[in-house]
Amino acid sequence: MIHSLIFPSDGETFISADDLRINLWNLEISNQSFNIVDVKPENMEDLTEVITSAEFHPTHCNMLAYSSSKGSIRLIDLRQSALCDSHAKLFEEPEAPGSRSFFTEIIASISDIKFAKDGRYMLSRDYMTLKLWDINMDSGPVSTFQVHEYLRPKLCDLYENDSIFDKFECCLSGDGLRVATGSYSNLFRVFGCATGSTEATTLEASKNPVRRQVQTPSRPSRSLSSITRVVRRGAETSGVDANGNSFDFTTKLLHLAWHPTENSIACAAANSLYMYYA
């Protein structure tokens, strides 16, 4: 099943990606494609990882990044060969000694990747975190934002009800200063990623948001903390949101997108679409 369709900046081609292959298509040719990445082994019992998402570089249409279920991102140059079996760069975070558990690979699986507008940085989302990567530095992420760390004690329950396999998207603001991703109870989180920023805001996708009086850190007035529909923010406790309500794992905000030039976010929750803006 195809999970990604991406158009590069050349306006002539696009790619489709499924769990095992990435194919390159020409907009003028509908009955033929070219396979550029193939991770399918000869024996399917030897399959150890699958492709989870893919994204073209915003300005260099020959550069393509794709992520895997093992928590790695590969950056390839389509000019190198017809079949890009080897990667130009591999981005992954080394596993901490003694941290491996039954859930390690499951929560490390990357569900989405996005390039910043200038192409210098990539954002990735796994089950627990957002990670910001500098494409010129493959030794590790430059920033890690904790999204679901409070759920770590509940991983067994989340595995039993399949929530641990939920695939949350991520996005960056057009100016590259903030990142966002969804969570449970129709919440989404916004983090400042500029040097020295401590911005971390939690918002709810709701028809009737209730304004909360909360302590606001001192920061420039253009902070996304000024978004008009902020209803929840600050530290989270296990299973309880800032309003004292239990988290609902059946309502989840998986899809969101940041406007490329304006400070606004579109969020899809259940069968509704919400727009948030400063």
User: Looking at residue 144, which CATH number applies to its domain?
Assistant: 2.130.10.10
Does residue 37 lie within any of the structural domains? yes
Does residue 229 lie within any of the structural domains? no
Burial of 51 (0-12, 13-18, 19+ CB in 10 A): buried
**Which tokens is 60 given?**
């260099």
Does residue 232 lie within any of the structural domains? no
Q: Are residues 158 and 253 in the same domain?
A: yes
Cα separations (Å) of 204 from 109, 124, 148?
Answer: 25, 22, 16
- Range from 10-19, 114-123, 167-176, 205-214 carrying the lowest mean pLDDT: 205-214
Out of 92, 123, 148, a domain closes at 92
pLDDT tens-digit profile of 28-80?
998 999 999 999 998 998 899 999 999 999 999 889 999 999 999 999 988 87
- The residues near 91 (Cβ < 8 Å, ≥ 6 apart) are 72, 73, 74, 75, 122, 133, 135, 138, 141
Does residue 225 lie within any of the structural domains? no
- What's the confidence (pLDDT) of residue 208? 67
- Is the per-residue pLDDT at 214 higher than 60? no
**Which tokens is 251 given?**
């309502």
Q: Are residues 157 and 61 in the same domain?
A: no
Residue with tokens 């017809």: 82
* Cα–chain center distance at 102: 23
Total domains in the chain come to 2
Q: Are residues 153 and 265 in the same domain?
A: yes
Does residue 270 lie within any of the structural domains? yes
- Is the per-residue pLDDT at 168 higher than 50? yes
d(CA 129, CA 197): 17
DSSP per residue, 150-214: GGGGGHHHHHHTTGGG----EEE-TTSSEEEEE-BTTEEEEEE-STT---EEEEE--SS------
**Domain of 10?**
1-92
Q: Are residues 191 and 257 in the same domain?
A: yes
Does residue 125 lie within any of the structural domains? yes
d(CA 101, CA 155): 11
Q: Are residues 27 and 141 in the same domain?
A: no
Average pLDDT over residues 119-139: 95
Out of 48, 72, 92, a domain closes at 92
Q: Could you tell me what percentage of the chain is helix, strand and coil, using 3-state DSSP and rounding each to the nearest 5?
A: 10, 40, 55
Out of 33, 65, 92, a domain closes at 92
